[in-house]
């Protein structure tokens, strides 16, 4: 394992020391090693084989916006690349310092600045971790309504950078729907406050920066909508014969204007996993490994995964259907009526009621699935998730084609977990054996490449909430088409020196930038 | 090296850092390398032989409060502190331990405690001589930190014993007044074992050893056992000991006890000894008061910043962690913190100006006037 020595000019480092003090930055090898990756699984595969990604030259921990601004100005003067870092839970390689440079870790900016209970708004610093923010709000009787599976380790700035979606986005929206105002430090070294603009008519400037993944600015604070904690929560679960019917039922439900807070449709394999883990004790083995390790007992899972299509067929043969779980929340009377309507539609569509238990069980264990990666890798398997989105007409085909195409390479399962009036997001999970460093990376890239191209061919979009980062960057030209020019113009303006998170989101190399200028 | 922890280290390496929001060190420093995930993945690379075991790695193993907040949030129940304790032992054995730790040992050697003081002499000034002369199978082990930093707790304990007519408890009269916890948490294993053996040979003459410090209870009860020096059920926490007396004896309560209090769970009480309800029940039993709770309480408590030997190496961060805990007390407008660990008491006192910080026993002693007979 090699971490190259940092390449930083003494003069630059001296300025950093003056600005932040000796405990405000680090060039130590061990510290830099721990900033070589986020939580993207390509890097995890590398870690499995003792390989590292590119290391930053230094890491800094600013405490306030003024320090962030000064850091950006210093980086401009010395042409040092900047990589913003939040919780490191990103799964698209967004925090990898591909060109070295300075990681700006925002976690020392972790405070709630204002809780405005009259107008239901919260203002917080961008380095605050999701769980800490939500816990604090809940203690005061409110919720952000934003519950990504990574709430335990993701930051507010990371949410905004990657356009995060929580498990209850069908009711509360995604982070870009929640944000009202922001303070950002752009790659020009200016502090921009979107407030004045978004409060007047005209363009919503928040939306220029949200989703920019550190390539235009650093988020320093944000004001977001909050909600009073719901009076009640009801749970229901329904089983449908197949995905197509279930998708259609959900479309009808959403287009009636009903807003369940959770709608999750699991395909046959995912349903099997969902239902197999009823009332587990805390120490019990993890769901996915549990099932897979059962398979290992009968035939080596690795051998089975050499024939993933066969394994998928087997699972589909033993499974009895696709489960949808619903959670309704809010005012008691509204919730009751929503539940009644949903169950009526489901029944009319041939759904079989499973009662509240599977949904309740899911709610109690809503973050458990995030812990699955460790045992899988430990048992010699790698995994990843591909979250894509599409309109209702696209979704059934997208599901079918993705399963067909990817099950040639890996065991694949899916759930539809964020649904709206016009469509939703499918979340595909794949598992395959680790078969050597190079071979595995090639397989990993192949699966992703195939998936992204297929989604684009079928008219879907390649990301709903995990962002683009390094992972999906090469597909962005197709994704944006000539809309990319808007981004490039913004990039040229807000990051004129090309220092903001290079190698992420969209290829903005010199030639392209010159053209955009 | 570290192969006995292979599974824990591997799990953390592949984990998307799911316990980050629980770690007080990460919350204060923000450094991924000092987060549970970072420490563990780095040590895994040492285990795999990818990173040399050197001074930097040795120092890394001291960047943890051993508070187990991460374990509490980890679905796999992964425990970081035992891994770090092992690394610290290896660091000491290979002469790689940070100078602060070797300096600490020199200090310790002078009087067999971290305070470089003759604590037995000090103890003799705290409790009346009669308790030293008692030929009794039941003794109270005061703990070095309590003697050095919050001696009133010892005085209050014996005062409470008197009020409750408990007249058979003597005080541990030996010159060594430390269980060895500061040594073992610092990785100073050989020194710990030497000390523990001496202690064990005197302790085993007693039927019951009562102590008020949760880290001492854990060390005497669990850590000694790991070195075949098991004292078993002889070791009793002060709460366990007092519980039946406070239940059965008819005592009078002082009238002026209506002060609002907040209870701080020390990590060793709640995450190592799993004593969460008992202190609250004792408070309720005596005063009828329910303490105000911290946002993070019980098994979800937050460390005072003084855990393990973290503050030896990281005084500033450790103080900052403490201040975060105290901020909540100010916000809740409470004047009195009740807790049970001498290190937490000392830490809170050092970092607050006007708050009253009391050990649970002192508090109970304050509330009880005397028996009614
Ligand atoms: C187990 C698991 C489950 C997940 N589940 C979900 C889910 O349900 N929903 C969801 O939306 N996502 C999910 N994710 C993905 C991830 O948590 C999100 O992308 C999250 O928004 C990233 O936040 P972070 O603070 O960890 O960002 P990081 O990983 O630190 O960074 C992500 C990107 O944001 C940039 N960035 C970070 N902070 C700032 C800032 N202050 N200013 C500018 N740029 C910044 C970084 O440069 C990088 O490009 C999951 C990830 C994991 C590992
Ligand atoms: S302790 Fe558990 S939650 Fe924390 S990094 Fe390790 S495996 Fe993940
Ligand atoms: S034991 Fe406490 S200080 Fe140590 S890594 Fe875990 S949470 Fe952090």
Whether pLDDT at B253 is above 50: yes
Ligand 1 mean position, distance from CA A167 (Å) = 15
- pLDDT more than 90, % of chain B: 91
Closest residue in B to A280 (Cα) is B75
pLDDT of residue B135: 86
Tokens of A202: 């005209």
The bridge status of strand A82-85 relative to strand A58-60 is unpaired
Per-residue pLDDT reduced to its tens digit, A347-365:
999 999 999 999 999 999 9
Tokens of A405: 């195409």
If one compares B194 and A295, the residue with the highest pLDDT of the two is B194
Distance from CA of A186 to the nearest CA of B (A): 22
Tokens of A425: 């997001």
Cβ A102 under 6 angstroms from ligand 1: no
The CATH class of A112-228 is alpha beta
pLDDT of residue B373: 59
B342 within domain boundaries: yes
Residue whose C-alpha is closest to residue A477's, from A510, A443, A453, A444: A453
Residues B93 and B113 in one domain: no
Q: How far is it, in rounded angstroms, from Cα B210 to Cα B139? A: 6
pLDDT of residue A280: 42
The pLDDT of B32-37, averaged and rounded, is 98
B298 within domain boundaries: yes
Answer whether B21 sits within 8 Å of A152, measured CB to CB. yes
Task: Taking the CA atoms of A172, A177, A182 and A188 in sequence, report the sign of the dihedral they define.
Answer: positive
Check CB contact of B21 with chain A, cutoff 8 Å.
yes
B102 within domain boundaries: no
CB A89 within 8 A of CB A43: no
Closest residue in B to A42 (Cα) is B14
Residues B181 and B231 in one domain: yes
Cβ B26 under 6 angstroms from ligand 2: no
CATH of domain A10-105: 3.30.43.10
Q: How many CB atoms lie within 10 A of CB B256?
A: 8
Residues B120 and B225 in one domain: yes
Among B41, B67, B97, which residue terminates a domain? B97
Per-residue pLDDT reduced to its tens digit, B198-240:
999 999 999 999 999 999 999 999 999 999 999 989 999 999 9
pLDDT of residue A297: 44
Among B196, B215, B243, which residue terminates a domain? B243
Mean residue pLDDT of chain A comes to 92
Residues B32 and B73 in one domain: yes
Q: Which ligand is nearest to the CA of B85?
A: 3
Check CB contact of B149 with chain A, cutoff 8 Å.
no
Residue whose C-alpha is closest to residue B327's, from A101, A512, A210, A112: A112
Q: b/e per residue, A332-362, with b = 16+ CB within 10 A?
A: eeebeebbeebbebbeebebeebebebbbbb
pLDDT of residue A300: 56
The pTM for the full model equals 0.95
Residue whose C-alpha is closest to residue A392's, from A228, A240, A248, A208: A248
Residue whose C-alpha is closest to residue A287's, from A299, A274, A300, A304: A274
B158 within domain boundaries: yes
Cβ A103 under 6 angstroms from ligand 1: no
Per-residue pLDDT reduced to its tens digit, A260-291:
999 999 998 888 777 765 544 334 445 555 66
pLDDT of residue A282: 36
Domain count for chain B, please give it.
3
Interface predicted TM-score of the whole assembly (ipTM), two decimals: 0.94
Residues B192 and B263 in one domain: no
Residue whose C-alpha is closest to residue A69's, from A156, A186, A176, A149: A186
Task: Kindly report the protein residue whose alpha carbon is nearest to atom 6 of ligand 3.
Answer: B70
Residues B88 and B204 in one domain: no
Mutate to test the pocket of ligand 3, among B8, B21, B24 (most ligand atoms within 8 A of CB): B24
Answer whether B30 sits within 8 Å of A91, measured CB to CB. no
Residues B223 and B260 in one domain: no
A-B Cβ pairs (cutoff 8 Å, strict): 123
Residue B356, domain CATH: 3.40.50
The pLDDT of A230-236, averaged and rounded, is 97
pLDDT of residue A317: 66
Architecture of the CATH domain A232-457 = 3-Layer(aba) Sandwich (3.40)
Per-residue pLDDT reduced to its tens digit, B311-357:
999 999 999 999 999 999 999 999 999 999 999 999 999 999 899 99
Domain that holds residue B190: 108-243
pLDDT of residue A65: 98
Whether pLDDT at B248 is above 90: no
Answer whether A30 sits within 8 Å of B56, measured CB to CB. yes
B103 within domain boundaries: no
The bridge status of strand B208-211 relative to strand B138-141 is parallel
Residues B277 and B363 in one domain: yes
Per-residue pLDDT reduced to its tens digit, A431-440:
999 999 999 9
Among B69, B97, B125, which residue terminates a domain? B97
Task: Kindly report the protein residue whose alpha carbon is nearest to atom 4 of ligand 3.
Answer: B64
């Amino acid at each position: 394992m090699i971490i190259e020595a940092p390449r930083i000019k003494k003069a630059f480092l001296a300025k950093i020391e003056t600005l932040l003090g000796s405990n405000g930055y680090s060039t130590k090898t061990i510290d830099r090693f721990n900033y070589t990756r986020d939580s993207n699984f390509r890097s995890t595969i590398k870690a499995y084989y003792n390989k590292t990604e590119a290391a930053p030259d230094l890491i800094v921990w600013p405490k306030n916006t003024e320090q962030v601004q000064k850091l950006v100005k210093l980086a401009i003067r010395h042409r040092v690349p900047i990589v913003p870092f939040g919780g490191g839970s990103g799964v698209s390689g967004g925090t990898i310092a591909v060109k070295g440079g300075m990681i700006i870790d925002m976690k020392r900016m972790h405070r709630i600045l204002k809780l405005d209970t009259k107008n239901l708004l919260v203002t917080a610093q961008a380095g605050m971790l999701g769980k800490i923010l939500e816990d604090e709000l809940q203690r005061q009787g409110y919720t952000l309504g934003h519950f990504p599976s990574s709430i335990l380790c993701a930051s507010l700035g990371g949410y905004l950078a990657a356009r995060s979606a929580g498990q209850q986005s069908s009711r509360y929206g995604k982070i870009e729907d929640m944000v009202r105002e922001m303070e950002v430090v752009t790659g020009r070294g200016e502090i921009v406050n979107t407030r004045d603009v978004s409060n007047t008519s005209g363009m919503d400037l928040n939306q220029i920066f949200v989703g920019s993944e550190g390539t235009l600015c650093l988020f320093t604070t944000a004001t977001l909508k909050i909600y009073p904690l719901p009076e009640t929560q009801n749970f229901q679960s329904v089983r449908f014969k197949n995905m197509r019917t279930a998708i259609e039922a959900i479309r009808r439900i959403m287009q009636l204007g009903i807003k369940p807070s959770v709608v999750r449709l699991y395909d046959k394999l995912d349903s099997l996993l969902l239902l197999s883990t009823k009332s587990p004790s805390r120490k019990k083995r993890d769901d996915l490994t549990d099932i897979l390790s059962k398979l290992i007992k009968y035939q080596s899972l690795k051998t089975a995964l050499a024939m993933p299509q066969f394994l998928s067929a087997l699972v589909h043969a033993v499974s009895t259907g696709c489960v949808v779980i619903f959670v309704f929340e809010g005012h008691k009377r509204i919730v009751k009526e929503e539940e009644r309507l949903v169950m009526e539609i489901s029944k009319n569509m041939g759904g079989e009621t499973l009662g509240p238990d599977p949904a309740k069980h899911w709610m109690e264990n809503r973050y458990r699935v995030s812990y699955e990666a460790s045992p899988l890798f430990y048992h010699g398997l790698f995994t990843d998730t591909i979250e894509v989105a599409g309109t209702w007409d696209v979704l059934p085909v997208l599901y079918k084609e993705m399963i067909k195409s990817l099950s040639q390479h890996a065991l694949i399962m899916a759930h539809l977990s964020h649904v709206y009036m016009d469509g939703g997001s499918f979340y595909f999970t794949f598992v395959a054996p680790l078969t050597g460093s190079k071979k595995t990376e090639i397989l990993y890239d192949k699966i992703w490449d195939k998936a992204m191209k297929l989604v684009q061919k079928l008219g879907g979009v390649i990301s709903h909430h995990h962002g683009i980062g390094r992972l999906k960057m090469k597909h962005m030209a197709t994704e944006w088409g000539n809309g990319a020019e808007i981004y490039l113009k913004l990039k040229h303006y807000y990051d004129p020196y090309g220092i903001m998170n290079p190698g992420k989101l969209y290829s903005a190399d010199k030639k392209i930038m010159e053209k955009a200028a | 090296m570290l192969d006995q922890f292979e599974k824990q280290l591997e799990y953390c390496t592949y984990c998307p850092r799911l316990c980050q929001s629980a770690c007080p060190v990460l919350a204060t420093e923000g450094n991924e390398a000092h987060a549970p995930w970072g420490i563990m993945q780095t040590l895994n690379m040492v285990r795999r032989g990818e990173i040399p075991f050197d001074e930097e790695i040795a120092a890394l193993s001291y960047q943890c409060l051993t508070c187990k907040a991460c374990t509490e949030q980890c679905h796999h129940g992964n425990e970081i502190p035992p891994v770090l304790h092992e690394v610290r032992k290896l660091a000491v054995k290979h002469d790689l331990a940070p100078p602060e730790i070797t300096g600490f040992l020199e200090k310790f050697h002078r009087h067999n405690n971290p305070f470089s003081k003759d604590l037995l002499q000090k103890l003799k000034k705290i409790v009346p001589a009669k308790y030293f002369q008692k030929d009794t199978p039941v003794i109270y082990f005061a703990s070095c930190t309590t003697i050095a930093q919050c001696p009133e707790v010892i005085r209050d304990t014996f005062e409470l014993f008197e009020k409750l007519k408990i007249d058979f408890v003597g005080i541990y009269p030996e010159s060594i007044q430390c269980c060895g916890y500061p040594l073992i948490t610092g990785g100073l294993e050989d020194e710990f074992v030497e000390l523990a053996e001496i202690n064990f040979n005197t302790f085993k003459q007693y039927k019951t050893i009562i102590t008020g410090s949760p880290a001492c209870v854990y060390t005497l009860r669990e850590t000694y056992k790991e070195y075949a020096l098991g004292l078993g059920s002889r070791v009793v926490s002060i709460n366990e000991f007092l519980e039946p007396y406070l239940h059965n004896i008819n005592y009078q309560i002082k009238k002026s006890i209506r002060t609002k209090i907040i209870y701080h769970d020390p990590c060793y009480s709640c995450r190592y000894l799993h004593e969460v309800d008992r202190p609250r029940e004792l408070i309720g039993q005596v005063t009828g008061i329910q303490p105000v709770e911290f946002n993070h309480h019980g098994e979800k408590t937050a460390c005072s910043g003084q855990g393990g030997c973290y503050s030896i190496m990281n005084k500033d961060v450790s103080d900052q962690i403490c201040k975060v805990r105290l901020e909540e007390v100010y916000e809740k407008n409470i004047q009195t913190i009740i807790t049970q660990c001498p290190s937490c008491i000392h830490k809170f006192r050092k970092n607050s100006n006007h708050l009253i910080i009391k050990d649970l026993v002192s508090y109970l002693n304050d509330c009880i006037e005397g028996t009614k007979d």
